[in-house]
Amino acid sequence: MAQARRSLLSSCQLSRWLLRVGAALAVAAALSACASKPGPWPARALPASAAVTVDAAQLLSRKQLVDWQYDLDERNLRATGSPRHEAYIDALHERLLRAGVKQLRFEPVNLQQWSVEAEHWGLEVLDGERPGVLPSAGYIPYSGVTPPSGIAGRIVYLAPDSKPDASLAGKLVLVEMPKAAWKGQVFHQAAMHVHDPDHAMEADTPYARPFQMLGPFIALLDSLQAAGAAGVIVILDTPSLSADGLYAPCDGVVRRLPGVFVDRGRGQRLRERVLAGTAPVLRLTMAATVRQVQTRNLIGIIPGKSEELMVLNSYTDGTNGLETNGPNAIVDMAQYLTRLPQDSLPRSVMLLLTGGHLAGGAGTGQFMDRHKDDGLTQRMAAMLTIGQLGAMEVLPHSDGYLHLTGRSEPAALFSPRTPALMDAASAMLRHANVAPAFVLPPANAGGDGSAKSAAWPDAGRTLRAAQGIPTINYLKAPTYQFSYGIGTVTQTDYRLMQRETVALTQLLLDLSRVPYADLRKKTAP
């Protein structure tokens, strides 16, 4: 079983590699040449005027950004508290030191970690003409644990919209991933500002991304667990090449419902056998470990004129290179800010790089809880959270491959209904010329009847954890956001990434000059 599983993983890794061939090879070759020589960082002291208008020439080169994107891809899945995650935190610490941030410290983040090694999970057919390993698209993280020998039984099928009940107790249950899809209308109805000069996201433009199924999926898992199901097999409505490696949900809740994903083709064959009365006997193995671990938040201070703080935030754990490239952008912004005269920064700047993104946002929540009574959070005038910079739109085709569309991934800047924040957010989108892009309120549930419980990932979580601190959250949600083992170097627009970094730095500096009270003045919804 272990050897078969390792062979299967090699096949999955090959599939991931195939996503980057073809037209992308020429791009990759050019990017590789850039990455081989990242080049020096800007070093000269900046004038006070550079704190008013950002000098784009003083941000890091595209060569450096490409090099870091390669580095992130090589680090692969950085599950919370894993050796890969801890090594990345150390690398960011070294980069911030090089950026001139002298006040750096770590703070602990405690959490319950669920982990499984490659050879310790999988599906196996025990009856029929072809017993043996049944290839699966991935494990469901934090889903549960089986004995080393696994759990076996004849599977049952739960149709969409059917409610789990006691009849599923002790059974291996086959289900379909809940579906949710939006159209551009959802964005336009909720938006406080739209930047879409080329009309790339009209009201009837389809928009389907994996995050939209997270809420319904979590509800399904919890209801199956409550019904006493022994395990779950989830059918993803996508071919194998774009199904492999899904890491969801990432709420950090350890469940007692071990489960795996299968792609559309295998799932359909399983479903047909169950409906025909010839349900196979399967064995599900999930020999995971659950233990208490400690990871770290990385915190830096860039002194300004005031003890009040502007906070730059991102997370250090994640599924793939593009989903979590925010910390590298913060390093770039930091090397610019540290070279400004201290008196030109109206407020000090806190860099808050948190762990626990893949464990329910534990890092942000524990930081806020730790400092709620010591005055630190009261000094925070506003917070800017960033991620997924430079993301290009990639959509799955019927051939199973992910294809670049040639457009930028739609972006959102979540902001409270505060005039100063909304104005700054709108200016940032125009300055970066990122489109289609929307300034949205913190929660943008549905609007077209098909996404009633959906909301963009992390937008609500970060704002809730911020405990009233005015927070702008810039993010995107590409189709591969929750996929591990996928290369992102050729799915990144580095010119866009540079424009976004310049515009976000300008936004931070502009808000640093807004009075504390004005950052909290909200308009009527």
Q: What is the mean pLDDT of the chain?
A: 88
Q: Does 417 score more than 70 pLDDT?
A: yes
- pLDDT average, residue stretch 510-516: 97
Extract the tokens encoding 290: 């659950």
- Chain centroid to Cα 507, Å, comes to 22
According to DSSP, the β-strands at 380-386 and 309-315 are parallel
The answer for residues whose C-beta is within 8 angstroms of residue 42's C-beta and 6 or more apart is 57, 58, 59, 60, 335, 336, 339
- pLDDT average, residue stretch 154-170: 96
State the pLDDT at residue 219: 95
Cβ(356)–Cβ(458) under 8 Å? Answer: no
The residue among 139, 143, 135, 173 whose CA lies nearest residue 156 is: 173
Q: Does 445 score more than 80 pLDDT?
A: no
Which of 32-46, 283-297, 449-463 has the highest average model confidence (pLDDT)?
283-297
Q: Which domains does the chain have, with CATH numbers?
A: 26-40+49-114+293-520 (3.40.630.10), 115-183+204-291 (3.50.30.30)
- pLDDT average, residue stretch 460-481: 77
CA gap 286, 294 in Å, rounded: 23
β strands within 280-432, DSSP E = 281-286, 289-302, 309-315, 348-354, 380-386, 392-396, 402-408, 411-414
State the pLDDT at residue 216: 93
**What would the DSSP string read from start to end of 62-127?**
HHHHHHHHHHHHHH--B-TTSHHHHHHHHHHHHHHHHTT--EEEEEEEEEEEEE--GGGEEEEE-S
List helix spans (H) across 288-418. 326-337, 362-371, 376-379
Q: Does 305 score more than 60 pLDDT?
A: yes
Q: Does 181 score more than 90 pLDDT?
A: no
How open is the CA angle 448-470-327, to the nearest 5 degrees? 90
Q: Does 217 score more than 70 pLDDT?
A: yes
β-strand partners of 136: none
pTM over 0.85: yes
pLDDT band at 26 (very low <50, low <70, confident <90, very high): very low
Which of 39-48, 344-353, 462-471 has the highest average model confidence (pLDDT)?
344-353
Location of structure tokens 């506003």: 382
- pLDDT average, residue stretch 421-448: 84
State the pLDDT at residue 297: 98
